[in-house]
Amino acid sequence: LVLVLAGLGVVMVASSSIAIAEGLDVGPFYFLTRHVVFLVLGGVLAWGLMRTELRTVEKYSQWLLLLSFLALLAVFLPGIGHTVNGAQRWVNLGVSNFQAVEAVKLMLIIWLASYLVRYRDEIGNRWRALLKPLFMAGAIVAFLLLQPDFGSAALILAITGGMVWLGGARIQHLALMAA
């Protein structure tokens, strides 16, 4: 199924980008070549991540949270951060631009899952156990609102609220915090 979807994506990019690429004088297969290169790089990265032990991921979850904040700060650094349509959300990687919040979403989910497993007995009974993940999500949202990226900020809050609730937090506590 993955190969069928990837193949369909390659066909769609090829059929829709040839005229645009020729109009930009970059060669007819410019966008197709870039798409295939990034598809292969993503496949290699996915293959490597699939073979990573869950214990290893959980062990480094604190570092992933720190890396999330560093990625969100990088968009504001001159020479690294890149502005598109008035929003400063992109990191210039040289060959391509990367929207840092996409990696931050995944890293936050990993950290939050690790946190909820470690504090599963306390998350529904103690405010302190509930406040830490909400504070971290709030700090990430603050960085996103500075870029501004309201859609990703709302998504981060929804993901955090849903995971904390599924992790055992009382709905009354979450409702009080939301209010």
**Residue 176, pLDDT score:** 78
Tell me the whole-structure pTM to 2 decimals: 0.80
pLDDT tens for each residue of the chain, 179 residues long? 989 999 999 999 999 998 888 888 888 899 999 999 999 999 999 999 899 998 888 889 999 999 999 999 988 888 888 787 777 888 888 777 888 899 999 999 999 999 999 888 888 777 777 888 989 999 999 999 988 889 999 999 999 989 998 888 888 777 877 77
SS3 of the chain: the string is CHHHHHHHHHHHHHHHHHHHHHHCCCCCCHHHHHHHHHHHHHHHHHHHHHCCCHHHHHHCHHHHHHHHHHHHHHCCCCCCEEEECCEEEEEECCCCEEEHHHHHHHHHHHHHHHHHHHCCCCCCCCHHHHHHHHHHHHHHHHHHHHCCCHHHHHHHHHHHHHHHHHCCCCHHHHHHHHC
